[in-house]
Structures are given as structure tokens and as C-alpha cells.
Amino acid sequence: MRIKFVHFIILLLSLVFFVSASDDEQQYEPADNICEKCNCTSTNETSENGESGTIFTIDCSLKDFQHIFAKWPESMGDNHNEIIYIMSFNNLNNLQQMPSTDAVLFFTCRHCKISNFANAAFIDSPNIHSLDLSYNKITSESLNPDIFRGPQSDDNEYASIKLTNLDLSHNSITFLDEKLFEHTPQLKNLDLSYNELKNIDEGTGVAISKLHELETLYLSHTGISDLPNSIFEKMNHLSELILSGNQFKIIPSSLSTLTHLKLLHLSENFIEEITHESFNGLKDLKTLNISKMSELREIKDGAFKELHSLEVLICSGNKKLNSLYLADILKIEHLKVFDISHNNLTTLNFGEIEEVDKSLNSSKIEREKFFKNLHTLKLEGNPWHCDCKIMKSLEFFNHNATYFKRALNSDEARCETPFDLLSKLLYDLQSQSIYDLSSNFYCSDQKPKPMKIPVYDPPQFLRPKSVMLTVFAVVAVVIVGIIIGFIIVCIKRRLKANEYSNNSNPIRYTAVRDSTVSNIANIPYQQP
């Protein structure tokens, strides 16, 4: 009896469980009055290729829904080209199959606590263009190729879907199935940042390397320290690569195949030095960010030599960077933004200035051509050592250009050494002020004058002029003294002569010797 009861309970429980589980799979949010629950808008727009169409937006953010809708709202009608469907900040947990549509679909579900997917979730919406599932709880285990599979075609193959943008950032993905993207060959933009990949294992590498159409790849803050050599080999369209906030110690050599890369973001890594090979092959690179690298000490000769297309160079906040070779920068014609602020630089090293001038003469380039397109220059936050070298290097910039004045004034690039020039604005540096300070240099001349060997400078009182004056004064004093003495002697003689002739007796006083000897002694002795 008791056992039967227990069986019954178990049966009941499993039934409840099964029903609720299958319920969860099947159940959708009721589709009636969607546009009363959510915010629906319809706009007529002309798309890039000139076709006009309707964009229907369903915004169901922050509604505490547990499921997506089973159907599209009736008010939407059939005549729509694009559907923007936003479900962010709901408690979906499980991403179910999308309702059927031929329209281009943009689906966003951030902060939805998604950790599971229905198989073939987009089989009825194969024109899905963008899928933003950032800030969810997606794991590697829950991501499998079947999620993205399209309808089955005649030869038992699954068709692919048109997914172009996939944002999986801020999830718990540690690796990717090597076939994950087999049904999404048109993927152009993939964001995997803020996942704990730690390293790109073979499967993950294969999965990514098969995305031949990829244009932007975000891998920031994923803890990776290397990129497999073959990963970019067949990506001929990759133009943006974001690798910031990782564990790279050297710049991965696999970058050299990315000849069409336009933007490379490498900041916040542990790279120690950048050499002449680091950016090899990146001929199209326009924007390079190599900031906040706590270990970066040196950027060597030739590092920028192949970056002919560079327009924006951000190299800022590298606290240990005190060697940066800049001669290559002069040859970058299109440079617009040049930011080397907040490093540990003491000088602007364009190499030997004479050498630069020589190479200019031989290649018939004029100095005026340097930094012709520059509009932002940032030099502040470095312990600049203000000497002749930096003065001459600053002459490579056009002092009349607004970038020069604005940058060096408002950004307050200031000298830190020598002490006499402490806090002086680089912009205010005049050759004269340096000349005055250290007579070793003669900046304003084209040819440096031979160095003046500093001599021992005696103190004021030891200089010849002072010594002469002193001797002269002493001699004068002696002569005056002799003359005065002579006059006194003369006067005395004459007085004596008078005394004998007058025979007078002048009153004489005797000094009182000791009053205690005798009182009588105190009585003034008077001559009779």
C-alpha cells in the first residue's frame, strides 16, 4: 500500500515535470494585443540600395516576459521589409524558435538570462540579419551548430541562414564548436568579447577561421594570449580587429596576413616591445591603438615603416614607454591624429636630425610636407627633457598649424627637466631660453657651434678685477695712514717747542691705583 503510494507520487511528480518541461518548450507569450503590451512603431524608409520599405519595430524591453511571441502582431500586416524585435531585460532563459517571416530580422535580447536555445531557432526566419545576445548566460555547451540551421533542402542538407551580425559578448563562453558557424557562412561581424576564452583552442580557431566573409572581429577581454597562425589566412575582408584587454605578451604574427585590416586595437595588453616586424604587412591600416600597455618599454626603429595608410595613431598611457622611434612617422602622409600622451618619454626621437635632412635632400621631400594632414597632436603627460634635441625635433611640426598651438597649449605638454625649465610649455620653448640656460648648446644656428668647454668659474672675490681693487684700496689706506701719522708727529714737535718756550706747568693727574691700600692715597695729590 505504502509502496504503491510512493510509486504514485513519483509518477505524479514525473508527469508534472514532463508536462511543465514540454510546456516550457511549446509555450509562447500569447500573441494577441502584442502592440498593447509592447511599443510598436512603423516607419517608411528608403534603404541603402534605394528600395523603400516599411520598418516595423516591436520593443518589449523590461516587461518581465518569460517567452517570445508565437506570432507577429496582426497590425504589422504582411508588407514589411524589416522587423526590429527587442526583448531586452526579460527573463527568457530559453530562446525559442522565432515566428515565421521573410522580412529582414533584427533581434535583440540583452540581459535576458538566456542559457539555452531551441534547435533550428531561426529556421522560419532565415533572413535574420542581426542577433544581439550580449549579457546573457550562454555557455559553450549550449551553443551548437543546430541552433542556426536553416530549412532542410532536397539533398538532405540544411540550408544556411543570412545571419550577418552576431553579438555574443558578455557571456560565459569558453570555447566554440568547430562547426558552430557552418550554417552562417555570411557572418560579417562577430563579437565574442568579455567571455572567458583564456586561449583559442583548435576547435575555436577552426570555427572562426571558416568565417571567410568576416569584416569585424571583437575578441577584447577574453583572456587570450595568442592567435593560431592560420586563423586569418582565408579572411580577405577583415577590416576591424579588437584585441584589447587580453594577455598578449608579443604582437601575434598571424596579423601579417591581414593586408586589408583598417583598424587594430591592441591596448591593455602586456606587450613589452614593438619591433620592425610587429606590424608587417598591415598596409591598409588606418587606425592603430596601442595604449595602456603596462609593460611596453620600447617601440623600435622600423615599427611603423609599413603603415603607409595610417591616419590615427593612439599610443597613450604606456607608463613604462621611454623609447619611441619616430623617424617612420615622418613618412606617413595621411596621419591625422598623433597621440603619444601620458607615456614615459623624455624626448622626441626622430633619429639624427642631420641624417633626416640628408635623406630629405636625396629624396627631394620638403619639411613642409611633414604632418601636412595632422589635426590633433597630443604630447602631454610625459617627463619631457627640454634641450636642443627636442627643440629641433619640434621643428618637424608646423608651428603655425592650429594642431600645434592647440595641442601644446591646451594639452599642456610641459618640460620636466632641466630644473630651470620645469613646467615650461613645450610650445613656449624658444631657442634663446635654452641658449641662456646651458651655454653648451646653440640651437638657433643651423650648424651647431663647437661645444664650449666649461671652465672653472672662481667666486666673485677671487676674480682679477676684485683682487686689483682690493690691492689698490689697501695701498691707499696705507698711504693715507702714513700721511696722518706724519702730520701728528709734526704737530707734536711744534707743541713741545712751545712748551719749553712758555715754561708753563700743566696740571697732571695720576691714576688712582688701589683705593683699599690707603685713604690718603685717595686724596688727590696737588702740586704746590
Ligand X SMILES: *[C@@H]1O[C@H](CO)[C@@H](O)[C@H](O)[C@H]1NC(C)=O
Applying CB under 6 A, does 430 fall inside the site for ligand X?
no
Closest approach, Cβ 234 to ligand X, in A, equals 28
Cβ 429 to ligand X shortest distance, Å? 16
Per the CB < 8 A criterion, the answer to whether 398 and 427 are in contact is: no
Per CB under 6 A, 267 contacts ligand X? yes
* 122-to-119, 154, 254, 368 alpha-carbon distances in Å: 9, 19, 34, 58
Residues in contact with ligand X, total (CB under 6 A)?
Answer: 25
Closest CA to 297 of 323, 278, 317, 275: 323
Q: Angle CA(123)–CA(98)–CA(170) in degrees, nearest 5?
A: 100
Residue whose CB is less far from ligand X, 39 or 439: 39
State the Cα–Cα distance between residues 351 and 165, nearest whole angstrom: 45
Residue 367 CB, nearest distance to ligand X (Å)?
A: 8
Residue 206 CB, nearest approach to ligand X (Å): 29
| Grid coordinates given for 49 | 540600395
When asked if residue 268 is in the footprint of ligand X (CB under 6 A), the reply is yes
Q: Toward ligand X, which CB reaches closer, 181 or 397?
A: 397
Least distance between ligand X and beta carbon 430 (Å): 14
The CA R_g of the chain, rounded to the nearest whole Å, is 45
Query: Rounded to whole angstroms, how far apart are CA atoms 510 and 216?
Result: 120
Strand-strand pairing, 52-59 and 39-46: antiparallel
Question: Which 10-49 residues touch ligand X, going by CB under 6 A?
Answer: 39, 41-44
Q: Which of 7, 234, 334, 358 binds ligand X (CB under 6 A)?
A: 358
Query: Is there binding between residue 246 and ligand X (CB under 6 A)?
Result: no
Q: Which residue has the cell 600597455?
A: 293
336 touching ligand X, by CB under 6 A: no
Q: Which is nearer to ligand X, 42 or 225 (CB)?
A: 42
| Residue 237 grid cell | 575582408
How many residues belong to the chain? Answer: 528
Span near ligand X by CB under 6 A; candidates 115-123, 140-148, 207-215, 286-294: 286-294
Beta carbon of residue 171, minimum distance to ligand X (angstroms, whole number): 21
State which of residues 309, 344, 431, 440 lies at the interface with ligand X (CB under 6 A): 344
> What angle (nearest 5°) sits at the alpha carbon of residue 101, between those of residues 50 and 51?
5
Q: How many whole angstroms separate alpha carbon 54 and alpha carbon 75?
A: 13
Check residue 88 for interaction with ligand X (CB under 6 A).
Answer: no
Q: Are 294 and 320 in contact (CB under 8 A)?
A: yes
Nearest distance, CB of residue 130 and ligand X, angstroms: 17
Task: Name the minimum Å distance from CB 38 to ligand X.
Answer: 9
- DSSP H stretches of helix in 350-415: 353-363, 388-394, 402-410
Interface residue with ligand X, options 170, 183, 262, 292 (CB under 6 A): 292
Cα separation, 319 vs 182, in Å, equals 44
> Of residues 93, 186, 322, 431, which one binds ligand X by CB under 6 A?
322
Q: How far apart are the first and last CA of the chain?
A: 166
**Position 178 contacts ligand X (CB under 6 A):** no
Among 319, 336, 392, 424, binds ligand X (CB under 6 A): 319
The residues binding ligand X (CB under 6 A) are 39, 41-44, 54, 59, 244, 267-268, 289, 291-292, 314, 319-320, 322, 344, 346, 354, 357-358, 361, 398, 400
